[in-house]
Structure 1
Amino acid sequence: MTAAPVERASRFGGAAEDWLRCAGCGEMLYRRRWERTLKVCYECGHHARVTIAERLDMLLDDGSVRRFDADVTPVDLLGFTDTQPYPARLAEARLRSGNNDAVVGVSGTIGGLPILVAALDFGFLGGSVGSVAGELIARAARRALTDRVPLLIVSASGGARMQEGAISLMQLAKTSQELRRLHEAGVLTVNLNTDPTYGGATASFATLGDIVIAEPGARIGFAGPAVIRQTIGQELPPGFQTAEFLAESGQVDMVLPRESLRANLSRLLHMHAAPAVVADPEPSPLVTDIERVGEIAAADLVKRARDMGRPTTADYCADVFDDFVELHGDRTGNGDDRAVVGGIASIGGRTVVVIGHQKGHDITELVARNFGMPQPWGYHRARRLMGYAARFGFPVVTFIDTPGAYPGVEAEQRGQGYAIARCIEYMSGLPVPVVSIVTGEGGSGGALALGVADRVLILENAYYSVISPEGCSTILFKDASSAGRAAEQLGITPRSLMRLGVVDGVVPEPEGGAHTDPDTTAATVRAVLLPVLAELVAYEPADLVAQRYRRFAGFGSPEHQSALSEGAR
């Protein structure tokens, strides 16, 4: 909703037109200040609607906007008349907006990088999607494919245009297939959904982007609240179909205030641009000689690995990489699992996808993050990000730190085993380099779901195991009191794992452990990652997949067992 103008001068002083009332909180706002804040209420943060011209001005670099296909005009295919003939409605909308239809297509730059934009104008028949709107979005997508330029679709729409009947409905298929072609070609598509975005828009182009962004408070959904109430008589929860509601449901990657949109879009474009010149990495501190790997009592190792002070995935994302943009949600509506952190990052001029388990440094965060134990939708989100990496050719870096996948009733109902299996299966065939680092606990299949990698590394005070020591003790020794004994026999230490060939190297930690000096730990992880990535990106995709296949196919084979037996003698 837009801010409501004030019809008379008031106790605030000045002319009536200098003031308006916020449609969100009802406070009186000084118009000039409100306009300087991009029509965002400086009292409550309500985002009022803006015109297409204002939207493009705030998103694109000054002087870069070039419009295309402005002359395409809709026709009355059905002779449709409601309270007035369709041609009269079109003429009125054209006069009011200055555009021929609800979509404006432009080329421009953001942060100096080229982009194509298809923006919907709610002021033109509610931003409804008819034949011309669909055609203009399709044309923008085709330009993006031909020129290999990212496409930004800005949506503000009430849905399909009823006055064009089934032809309007067909625009959902028309635009969706264009986005499919962009996905297959690895051309970035970004959705910016503003208030409101409904119906045919959300059932096609407005939700199919590689990255989906929403403005705060934007109402977004398929069926509008009035339709839902009328159709099924269901009472709707507070905040239903707002951007924040969708974020909690795992449907959008991020909710960004208007003032930060251009900067964040610039970050994303630069991460997806051609890689910068990557400097040769310094010598790696990674320990690959098993004779240089110290042995530690397994029970002591478990305690260190579980220390709440150890750096988390979020810490590594902030301190190892040059930039990191977190992407949220599994897009299936299950939720945004906070036990998993993932997104795109840059390191040494190279863009990667980062995925990791997330615990916390205090009990409040541990509870909020479910102690680093993902639900099925956390693994679905991880798999979605793996697909993202494959689409753009980005290496994958995973951080493993979990006692295991969450074993609750709901997790089982939602297919926890299947979610893990799909991650393992999908990861095994990724046509991009994959590096996994066990940073704390590497618990069972919940850890392996992020661990099917070309290089598997482990921090000095971390462990990797088929089951927790307590679980093993309970099952085999009939109670948990023999967990220390179980830990020793499970072969979970870095040295044991190197002997088995499960890990390829050990990342040294500061004296006393990673938690005593997180900055040095992050620097060491970065120094390890850079040469490993440099090595792996030189391989062809098919070779990476083949080598990864041979790696995991070999575990437990007669040749593998023979080599281990020979080494033990």
Structure 2
Amino acid sequence: MVETDDRPIGPAVAREPVTDWVRCTRCSELVYGKRFARALHVCPDCGGHARLTARQRLDQLLDPGSETALEPAPTPYDPLDFVDSRPYRERLAEARAATGMADAALAVRGRIEGHPVVVAAMDFRFLGGSLGCAVGALIARAAEESLRERVPLLIVTASGGARMQEGPLALMQMAKTAQALAELDEAGILVLTLVTDPTYGGVAASFATLADVILIEPGARMGFAGPRVIEQTTGERLPEGFQTAEFLLAHGMVDAVVSRAQLRRTVAHFLRVAQAGRDGADGEPWPDGDGEDPAGAAPTGPPGAARARDPWETVRLARHPDRPSALDYAGRLLEDFHELHGDRLAADCPAIVGGFGLLDGRPVMLIGHHKGGGDLDERRRRHFGMATPAGFRKAARLMRLAAKLGVPVVTLVDTPGANPGPDAERGGQAVAIAENLRLMSGLPVPIVAVVTGEGGSGGALALAVADHVLISERGVYSVISPEGCAAILWKDPAAAPTAAAALRMGPTELSALGVVDTIVPEPPDGAHTGPGEAAALLRTALRSVLAELRHLPPDRLIRERRNRYRAFGTAPTHDGELARAHPGAAS
């Protein structure tokens, strides 16, 4: 029988008194204590975020009076009888006396801006926030409570890694906690991580990075091996800012860097999305798409209602640099949009953007190409909307998250094509596109794709395998650019206008071919002349389509989506025109 620790510990943590003056550990400036407390322990001079105790985290995040403590199962006490320069038991007793905590974490049920949540918060003061049996048991207990109550789980991390003094039993806590989060994945329950400084080792390589959404405080560091270990092992000097929040964001490892003052609001956004998605899954209908649009837009016209235009002129308008792109539409279509970042592997492609927002009070996952507008430097930074493999992987990650929470996916397509650079090829561009096509064909939530500008080849299709495809009145969608087609088949790039006509890439031709379902009107002189009006017209179309799709069960969505794409190119009519054989299309 293992010895367990069941001794009373007393109150969770006493609130710490406010000292008169505090010295910032980052810039060394003195800050008046009460001002520092009001600023949530953030230095007003340099913005440095001081470390907080687990108790302070809970006090800052939770609605007052909403907290109920969770107790873990008993765990072994000094299971190895470990002794280094001092017995482990002495270190434990000292940590308990100093912190008033049983171990390096607290777990509670509570609410954030009225939304129910289970929170597990780690405390670095307790043996460096190390992951031992007691912490592993508490994280697992929090996950079990989240599963039982079917409410989201938020884990606040602060740790140097697994606890050496508990040996292989500490190592096993990585698997235990990963397994607990896997059960929440299977149940469709949102998991959030708030990474604070520092988060390393076994915690970073388990529950800290397995969350659906990873938020991180400015300047916080996270990694598997610490910088000192890396430098000693490799003999290389690490770059400035290595493993910091900003570095991790740029390299696709976290979703957002969030200042402490914005944490409650940001976490509440995701809790609201999870709750609204769950309510929708329980049968609440989408707002009626036939009613008057809040923005006052006219109803969308029937397929093929767009005015016939010169094909080359349509191409030129689709490429207009001032044409609204994904982030422009996100700000006008959605309430409370929060962009998520990164493929969790290597990078955050700036050409693909995405995140949750509310359309008429109901959550959608919006994902799209973003070209960057009329600013040439910004367009270059965004790769002119040409996604890298990391961009397609980011899109896939966000689609899976939407499916987990039962939230519809809306994609906005506007790209000349996938990124053609050598780095993209080395990164597996073709595989990334193919994986998205397969994923979208079986995603169990409604998918609505909108070609808002250019729909260029596989880079467009990787976001456009959908239940319903819309195209803006000046949009185009093609297997290749007119210039590329002209160079290959006409042997003359100047033949691009001729190729544009031959490719039948304009809205009316695409509608006749059955490739698109609905043409969305634009302002008379193009979307770039009235972005607000263009967004209102698109909102009307989206509301109508989502209202139709929302009530369909997942198996029917998937079946009809697959039938749609299976039918393309297989049913010519007697007069040679391609029949529109997919469900819901006119013949």
TM-score under structure 2 length normalisation: 0.91
Following superposition, the deviation at residue 232 of structure 1 comes to: 2.0
Matched, 1:34 2:36: yes
Q: Residue 212 of structure 1 aligns to a residue in which SS?
A: strand
Following superposition, the deviation at residue 286 of structure 1 comes to: 2.3
1:10: which partner in 2? none
Matched, 1:25 2:9: no
**One of 255, 259, 262 as aligned partner of 1:260:** 262
The answer on whether the counterparts of 1:159 and 1:198 sit within 8 Å (CA) in structure 2 is yes
Q: Distance in 2 between matches of 1:561 and 1:325?
A: 50
Following superposition, the deviation at residue 392 of structure 1 comes to: 1.1
Residue deviations 1:423-478 (CA, integer Å, cap 9, x gap): 11111111111100000000000000001001001000010010001111111111
The 5 Å alignment of 1:401-550 reads 401-550=414-563
Q: Which is worse superposed, 342-351 or 237-246? A: 342-351
Q: Distance in 1 between matches of 2:241 and 2:235?
A: 18
The answer on whether the counterparts of 1:74 and 1:101 sit within 8 Å (CA) in structure 2 is no
Q: Distance in 1 between matches of 2:108 and 2:306?
A: 58
2:6: which partner in 1? none
**One of 200, 203, 206 as aligned partner of 2:205:** 203
1:349: which partner in 2? 361
Aligned residues: 551
Q: Distance in 2 between matches of 1:339 and 1:204?
A: 30
Q: Distance in 2 between matches of 1:565 and 1:302?
A: 23
Following superposition, the deviation at residue 177 of structure 1 comes to: 0.5
**One of 377, 391, 394 as aligned partner of 2:390:** 377
CA change 1:83–1:454 in 2 (3 A) is same
Matched, 1:287 2:262: no
CA change 1:67–1:496 in 2 (3 A) is same
Following superposition, the deviation at residue 277 of structure 1 comes to: 6.5
The 5 Å alignment of 1:357-372 reads 357-361=369-373, 362-372=375-385
Q: Residue 558 of structure 1 aligns to a residue in which SS?
A: coil
**One of 95, 105, 113 as aligned partner of 1:93:** 95
Q: Residue 201 of structure 1 aligns to a residue in which SS?
A: helix
Following superposition, the deviation at residue 171 of structure 1 comes to: 0.3
Residue deviations 1:17-68 (CA, integer Å, cap 9, x gap): 6323211112222222111101100011000011111111110001111111
Following superposition, the deviation at residue 322 of structure 1 comes to: 2.1
Q: Which is worse superposed, 368-377 or 223-232? A: 223-232
The answer on whether the counterparts of 1:285 and 1:507 sit within 8 Å (CA) in structure 2 is no
Following superposition, the deviation at residue 531 of structure 1 comes to: 1.3
Q: Residue 201 of structure 2 aligns to a residue in which SS?
A: coil
2:571: which partner in 1? 558
1:151: which partner in 2? 153
Q: Distance in 2 between matches of 1:194 and 1:510?
A: 47
CA change 1:329–1:190 in 2 (3 A) is same
CA change 1:305–1:561 in 2 (3 A) is farther
Q: Counterpart amino acid of 1:459?
A: S
Following superposition, the deviation at residue 289 of structure 1 comes to: 4.0
Q: Counterpart amino acid of 1:405?
A: A
**One of 153, 165, 168 as aligned partner of 2:167:** 165
Residue deviations 1:485-534 (CA, integer Å, cap 9, x gap): 11010001100001100000100001101111111111111111011001
Following superposition, the deviation at residue 101 of structure 1 comes to: 0.7
**One of 400, 406, 426 as aligned partner of 1:393:** 406
Q: Counterpart amino acid of 2:427?
A: R
Q: Distance in 1 between matches of 2:88 and 2:570?
A: 72
**One of 54, 74, 90 as aligned partner of 1:52:** 54
Q: Distance in 2 between matches of 1:166 and 1:337?
A: 39
**One of 217, 221, 225 as aligned partner of 1:223:** 225
1:303: which partner in 2? 316
Q: Residue 564 of structure 1 aligns to a residue in which SS?
A: coil
CA change 1:89–1:538 in 2 (3 A) is same
Q: Residue 411 of structure 2 aligns to a residue in which SS?
A: strand
The answer on whether the counterparts of 1:73 and 1:100 sit within 8 Å (CA) in structure 2 is no
Q: Distance in 2 between matches of 1:40 and 1:508?
A: 49
The answer on whether the counterparts of 2:306 and 2:521 sit within 8 Å (CA) in structure 1 is no
Q: Counterpart amino acid of 1:493?
A: G
Q: Counterpart amino acid of 1:297?
A: D
The answer on whether the counterparts of 1:70 and 1:100 sit within 8 Å (CA) in structure 2 is no
Following superposition, the deviation at residue 561 of structure 1 comes to: 8.1
Q: Residue 287 of structure 2 aligns to a residue in which SS?
A: coil
Q: Distance in 2 between matches of 1:177 and 1:264?
A: 27
Q: Distance in 1 between matches of 2:301 and 2:344?
A: 40
The answer on whether the counterparts of 1:277 and 1:349 sit within 8 Å (CA) in structure 2 is no
Residue deviations 1:357-395 (CA, integer Å, cap 9, x gap): 000221021011010000011000111111111111111
* Gap regions ≥5 residues in structure 2: 1-17, 292-297, 581-586
Q: Counterpart amino acid of 1:457?
A: L
Deviation beyond 3 Å, 4+ runs, structure 1: 70-74, 275-279, 558-563
Q: Residue 474 of structure 1 aligns to a residue in which SS?
A: helix
Following superposition, the deviation at residue 279 of structure 1 comes to: 3.2
Q: Distance in 2 between matches of 1:564 and 1:545?
A: 27
The answer on whether the counterparts of 2:75 and 2:133 sit within 8 Å (CA) in structure 1 is no
TM-score under structure 1 length normalisation: 0.94
**One of 104, 110, 113 as aligned partner of 1:111:** 113
Residue deviations 1:124-143 (CA, integer Å, cap 9, x gap): 00000001110110011011
Q: Distance in 1 between matches of 2:252 and 2:245?
A: 11
The answer on whether the counterparts of 2:285 and 2:550 sit within 8 Å (CA) in structure 1 is no
Q: Distance in 1 between matches of 2:52 and 2:189?
A: 28
Q: Residue 85 of structure 2 aligns to a residue in which SS?
A: coil
Q: Which is worse superposed, 341-350 or 65-74? A: 65-74
**One of 325, 330, 350 as aligned partner of 2:343:** 330
Q: Residue 129 of structure 1 aligns to a residue in which SS?
A: coil
Residue deviations 1:72-114 (CA, integer Å, cap 9, x gap): 4650111111121011100001101111111111111001111
Identity %: 52
**One of 312, 325, 328 as aligned partner of 2:325:** 312
